[in-house]
Amino acid sequence: MSRALNSVPRHVGIIMDGNGRWAKKRLMPRSYGHNAGMKAMIKISERAAERGIEYLTVYALSTENIISRPADELEGLYNLLRKYFGENAQKLCAEGSAIKIIGDLSALPPDVEELLKKGEANSPENARFTLVFAINYGSRSEIARAANLAAAKGGITEESLENELYTAGIPAPDLIIRTGGEMRLSNFLLYQAAYAELYFTKVLFPDFTPAHFDKAIEEYMSRERRYGGSR
């Protein structure tokens, strides 16, 4: 049951790590790195759409980030969303692409929550490409939430649990990329990534170009996927 070689993944997830270290190397505040990372993410999403990838999920802000990051850094991240999200969401939708938000938005400033929900609501149906933002997202809390909802509706099975995940209706990720040199998933799509291929690179995210993205895709396309089966 292996996926044919040389096929483009339908769904790619990216853990965008290294913004802070990138800024520190330049003796700049972390906000400088987050700004550069946002610009890099826009370029990567454009390349993903060009390559025929159907879903790109970017890990923008974790539940742990909300708890542990200083208030001024979080405000800087919210300001980046205020600065970039509306205009780029409108551009994506005009090009026939869609936006989906996964995570608990209730902890965000009301105007940011409204901005994100508006971008999602204005997305076209049957889009050829969907950019998924994981914001105030944590996979463990997502699974616990889904289990409670499924139990309340009659029982927990794989199907009922999956129907209550934030990603319901989205195919499981084929490939997860992590930049910045760390080699772990950090609470990102743990249930969904059961059989995903993993790709780690030392490149810090602001330096992660479409060419680096292409390299990850080519690496994925060279692998044989067995979904737990033998050769």
| Encoded tokens for 100 | 């989906």
Residue 214 catalytic?
no
Q: How far apart are CA 182 and CA 20, in angstroms?
A: 14
DSSP state of 183: -
The residue ranges of DSSP E strands in 10-168, in sequence order, are: 11-15, 55-62, 98-102, 130-137
Secondary structure class of 227 (helix, strand, coil)? coil
Cβ atoms 167, 189 nearer than 8 A: yes
| Encoded tokens for 78 | 């919210």
Single out the catalytic residue among 65, 79, 122, 163. Answer: 65
Which residues sit opposite 40 in a β-bridge? none
Secondary structure class of 203 (helix, strand, coil)? coil
Residue 65 catalytic?
yes
Single out the catalytic residue among 6, 17, 136, 163. Answer: 17
Alpha-carbon distance values, 161 to 4, 132, 146, 152, 154 (Å): 29, 20, 6, 11, 11
| Encoded tokens for 123 | 């997305």
Q: How far apart are CA 146 and CA 136, in angstroms?
A: 16
Which residues carry out catalysis? 17, 65
